[in-house]
Structure 1
Amino acid sequence: MTWDEINVHKSLPPHPNIVPIDRIVLEDVESRVVGFTTKYIPGGTLEANPHLPLRFEWLKQLTQLVDFLNLDLGIMHQDIAPRNLIIHPETEQILLFDFGWVAHGKKNLLEGRDDVIGVAFTLYELITGDTHFTSIPHWDRNMDMVLNTEWICNRELDSDLTTFRNFLDEWILTRRIDGDMERYLNAPNRLTWPDLPTPPDYNVPFECGRAAEGEAAYRTGLRLIRTAIKLGQYVFPWQRPPQSRLKESRNEVGE
């Protein structure tokens, strides 16, 4: 999925409600692409801030963003959830990130993961604090589960609960009309990108098990990082340290 995520970030136009890509990460020995970084936005996700008052404007921004992604660009985020939404501390706008499940057209499109369903379940979780729907596999979820459930507000809202629900219900009606999938598949500015290239066949052999006679069996090609480390082969570690460690280092510098 990383290939699609990099390409969608590369192709997306700047948008006030999307966390932008920052850099492509290359390892410095073989110049291979190993990942990418996005701009750091402090403050944590909406999932991590259950006491943050929820604004009606954020719901409108999110639905407008989903319409733009689906019906103008022809892509489906497929993982809209409180853990993938943050609030920019300066603009106070909602921001979406993590396009790891992105679909474009029919490619990677999964049942039960469309963004309209994602918005409905996300709003329900944010308002009620009820997370039990997250344990249901996406292919077993449907819109009626959350729409026909009583919404008990357990979060401070800047508007009445009925205002949030009425807006959501009306928006869902506009997206559930006949031909919505055709509008998505025939989006006027549909993003496309090439398929993942076939990776080179690495010619350094590694042990992959034992033959019937007990002798070690070897092969070349892709291997797990832990396998390469165990064999003393080159591995490029680039993972960002956890946010808690970054905070500790900043505090140490401040002292």
Structure 2
Amino acid sequence: MAYLADTVFADWPTARYAGLNVLHQFTPRVHLVQLADNPETRLVVKYITNNMMKGNIWKEMNILKRQQLHPSILPIDRFILHNNNYIVGMATKFVPGGNLNHNKNRTFKLKWLKQLTEALDFLHFDQGIVHGDLHMDNILIDEAADRLVLCDFSMAKEATEQNLMDEFWSVTWTIYELITLDFKAEEEQVQNSQHQYGVYSLNTESIEKLPSWPVRAKLDCDAEAFRKYLREWIKMRKETLQSVKARKPETMANSSEQGRSQWEEPTHGCHGVQSRTIRINYQH
């Protein structure tokens, strides 16, 4: 990717690619690993595998460059270096509780939804960006800390009015799917919008007008409490859209005075996967 010394991360913790033992491949470019010299340390490593991902992963690194950005945002733990101190990936700590898709039998708590909206408020108002890719795979549960945690900021965008509306729709669809385990309604919504208007839309009108949502998941309170809280949060945020100061996430590496910053394809054998920006393309 780039020389470590040519970036703003020069003094951050690192690990060598050769010192990683792969325990599981979540995708061809995202691995669960342990450190060869410290087997108890488990990390999730995201590798840079193609030209398209270089800008996205740099953007994600810049968003997460503060070690403790927010208690519900998964920070970078260290960078993965290859030959000549090139950065070829970034690592975050492994969250044993997994994502919302990983464990559908877990009782989902209203406090976790509140933690999600608090994290989004931080992103929207303090950082001026939207997550841009909210769905059940990108929401983790740290059971030991009893906290919901957001991950994967590679699709983050500036918090424009339309991007904020898209984020609100994504949150609503995610909570709907979490509660109902109905993963077909969203696809039907998108297909109908494309058929009627020729555009992709995640508008939530079809599920918001339902008098009740069929509950198929375990919740710590009535489903209507989740819907009520979500409706009130979105209503309040729509009224404050004008106060959000959008900021476009950085996508390019900072170079040192020597100008040695350059990109390099990693040689770890991963072929990468196509970026999936449409939520219905995720396998639930």
**TM (normalized to structure 2)?**
0.62
Asked whether the 8 Å contact 2:66–2:75 carries over to 1, the reply is no
Q: Does 1:185 align with 2:239?
A: no
Aligned positions of 1:126-205 closer than 5 A = 126-135=178-187, 136=190, 139-149=200-210, 150-177=212-239, 180=241, 182-185=242-245, 193=250, 195-196=252-253
Sort the Cα spacing of 1:127 and 1:120 in 2 relative to 1 into closer, same or farther, 3 A.
same
Q: What CA distance in whole angstroms lies between the structure 1 residues aligned with 2:214 and 2:129?
A: 33
**Higher RCO (Cα < 8 Å, 6 or more apart):** 2
**How many Å apart are 1:146 and its aligned residue?**
2.8
**CA RMSD, 1 decimal:** 3.2
Residue 78 of structure 1 contacts residue 113 of structure 1 at CA under 8 Å; is this kept in 2?
Answer: no
User: 1:6-34: CA deviations, max 9, x gaps?
Assistant: 111114743221112111122123x3222
Residue 99 of structure 1 aligns with an amino acid whose one-letter code is: F
Following TM superposition, by how much is the alpha carbon of 1:46 offset from its aligned partner in structure 2, in angstroms?
Answer: 0.9
Superposed counterparts of 1:29-40, under 5 Å:
29=84, 31-40=85-94
CA offset at residue 104 of structure 1?
3.3
Distance change in 2, residues 1:175/1:139 (3 Å): farther
Partner of 1:211: none
Residue aligning to 1:116: 168
Pairing partner for 1:54 from 101, 108, 113: 108
Q: Is the 8 A contact 2:116 2:148 kept in 1?
A: yes
Question: Can you list the C-alpha shifts for 1:195-244, whole angstroms capped at 9, x where unaligned?
Answer: 357999x9xxxxxxxxxxxxxxxxxxx99x6xxxxxxxxx52176xxxxx
Q: How far apart are residue 65 of structure 1 and its match?
A: 1.0
Larger Rg: 1
Unaligned stretches of 5+ in structure 2?
Answer: 1-55, 192-198, 271-284
Q: Label 1:194 to 1:84 Cα distance change in 2 as closer, same or farther (>3 A).
A: closer
Q: Are the structure 2 counterparts of residues 24 and 118 from structure 1 closer, same or farther at C-alpha, using a change threshold of 3 Å? A: same
> In structure 2, what is the equivalent of residue 67 of structure 1?
121
Q: Which residue does the alignment assign to 1:15?
A: 70
Residue of structure 2 equivalent to 1:125: 177
The structural deviation recorded for 1:38 is 0.8
Contact 1:11 1:191 in 2 (8 A): no
> Does the aligned pair in 2 maintain the 1:76–1:114 contact within 8 Å?
no
* Cα distance in 1 for residues equivalent to 2:86 and 2:110: 44
Against the structure 1 CA distance between its residues 154 and 24, is the aligned structure 2 distance closer, same or farther, given a 3 Å change threshold? same
Sequence identity (%): 31
Closer, same or farther in 2 for the Cα pair 1:82/1:192, shift >3 Å?
A: closer
The yes-or-no answer on 1:86 pairing with 2:147 is no
Work out the CA distance in 1 between the residues paired with 2:206 and 2:235: 16
For residue 168 of structure 2, what is the amino acid of its counterpart? V
In the alignment, the residues of structure 1 paired with residue 220 and residue 252 of structure 2 have an alpha-carbon distance, to the nearest angstrom, of: 45
Q: Does the 8 Å CA contact 1:53/1:158 hold for their aligned counterparts?
A: yes
Distance change (3 Å), C-alpha of 1:110 and 1:5: farther
Paired amino acid for 1:91: A
1:94 Cα deviation after fit: 0.6
Question: Is 1:75–1:184's contact at 8 Å kept on the other side of the alignment?
Answer: no
For residue 221 of structure 2, give the secondary structure of its aligned residue in structure 1.
coil
**Structure 2 counterpart SS, 1:185:** coil
Counterparts of 1:63 and 1:129, CA distance in 2: 21
2:125 is paired with a residue whose SS is helix
My pick for the range that moved more, 90-99 or 15-24, is 15-24
Give the distance between the partners of 1:197 and 1:121, measured in 2 at CA: 37
CA contact (8 A) 2:159 2:244 kept: yes
Cα drift, residue 70 of structure 1: 0.5
What is the alpha-carbon distance in structure 2 between the residues aligned to residue 183 and residue 134 of structure 1?
A: 30
1:46–1:82 Cα contact (<8 Å) kept = yes
Cα–Cα, structure 1 residues 113 and 82, in superposed 2: closer, same or farther, change >3 Å?
farther
